[in-house]
Amino acid sequence: MKEASQDSSEMSAADFMETFLIKQSPPQESIDYFKSVPWLAKHISNPAYKIVPTFSRHLKTSGEDYYFSRTINTEQTMPHMISLQLRNFVTPDLTEAQPRETVSPERSHTAKTIVPENPDCLFLISVGPRGLDGHPLTIHGGVTCAILDETMGFLIMLHDNNLRGPGPRDSLYTANLNVSYRAPVSTPGELLVKTWLVKRQGRKWYCKGQLVDMKGTVLAEADGLWVTARREKM
C-alpha cells in the first residue's frame, strides 16, 4: 500500500538515489501478498534478484509521483507493487550511434521479442476490481502504457545511478514509447513486468518492457527511448 513520503528538498543531493534505496523500504504487506501468489513468489525467492523500494510509489513533497503513489495506490486500483533488481546489475558501455532501421508498423507488431533469461528488473503488480477498467474487467490501455512507461523509466534511473559520479540527481524524460497490445489485461489479478536495457548512446537510453500474466501470456510489450537532461553549468 502507501509507502513513506520523500522530501523533495533532498532530491538535488549527489547521493540521492543511493540514499533513497537505503532509507526507504518496500511495504512488508505487499511482500507478504506476493509471497502468497505461487507464480510470483518464485521471483521474490530467486537469489538472482533483490527487492528495492519502488521510486514512484513514494510521494514527493513537491507532488511528484502522485499518480502511482496515491491515485492508483488503492484497494480498487493497484494495491500492491514490488520492484526486483538483478543483483548482477551491469550497465553496458556506450555504443556508437548508428542509423536506425526503419521498421513497418506491421513488422513491429508481429515481431517476436527475445527476453533475457534474467531481465534487469522485474515488477510484481496486483490490480483490483474496476478501478483501472476501460472495458469491463479489462484494464484501460492508457494504464497499461503508464505501467510500462513507469517501470521502464525506473529501470533507467537505476542504471543511471549505477554510473553517475558526483552531482545532483539526473532528470530523465521519456522521448519515445512504442506499445504493442497483445491481449486484454484482465482485472482483478496479478501481473509481472519484465524490463531490460538494450543499449545507451550518449544521453540516450534504449530499453524494452514486457507485461505477462500467470500463464506466461504476453499481454503488452514496449520499446522506448529515454533521454538524460543536460546538467546546468555552474
Give dist(CA 13, CA 46) in Å, integer: 33
Give dist(CA 71, CA 59) in Å, integer: 11
SS3 43: helix
Give dist(CA 205, CA 198) in Å, integer: 8
Give dist(CA 189, CA 126) in Å, integer: 6
At 184, the pLDDT band (50, 70, 90 cuts) reads very high
Q: What is the pLDDT of residue 102?
A: 43
Q: What is the widest separation between alpha-carbon atoms in the chain?
A: 53
At 105, the pLDDT band (50, 70, 90 cuts) reads low
CATH number for the domain spanning 81: value is: 3.10.129.10
- Residue span of the structural domain in which 148 resides: 8-87+115-228
Give the chain's mean pLDDT.
88
* Tens-digit pLDDT profile for residues 195-213: 999 999 989 999 999 999 9
At 224, the pLDDT band (50, 70, 90 cuts) reads very high
% of residues, the chain, pLDDT over 70: 84
| CA 230 vs CA 9, 168, 172: distances in Å | 20, 11, 10
234 part of a folded domain: no
Q: What is the pLDDT of residue 234?
A: 35
Set of cell numbers at residue 156: 533507467
95 part of a folded domain: no
φ, ψ dihedrals at 38, nearest 5°: -50, -45
101 part of a folded domain: no
* Tens-digit pLDDT profile for residues 48-95: 999 999 999 999 888 999 999 999 999 999 999 999 999 999 998 887
Range with the poorest average pLDDT among 1-10, 90-99, 182-191: 1-10
Q: What is the pLDDT of residue 18?
A: 80
94 part of a folded domain: no
Which element (helix H / strand E) includes 153?
helix 141-163
Omega before residue 188 within 30° of 0, cis = yes
Set of cell numbers at residue 42: 518464485
107 part of a folded domain: no
Q: What is the pLDDT of residue 120?
A: 98
Set of cell numbers at residue 72: 492508483
Which of the two residues, 149 and 202, has the higher pLDDT score? 149
214 part of a folded domain: yes
Determine contact, residues 71/59, Cβ cutoff 8 Å: no
Tell me the average pLDDT across 172-191. Answer: 96
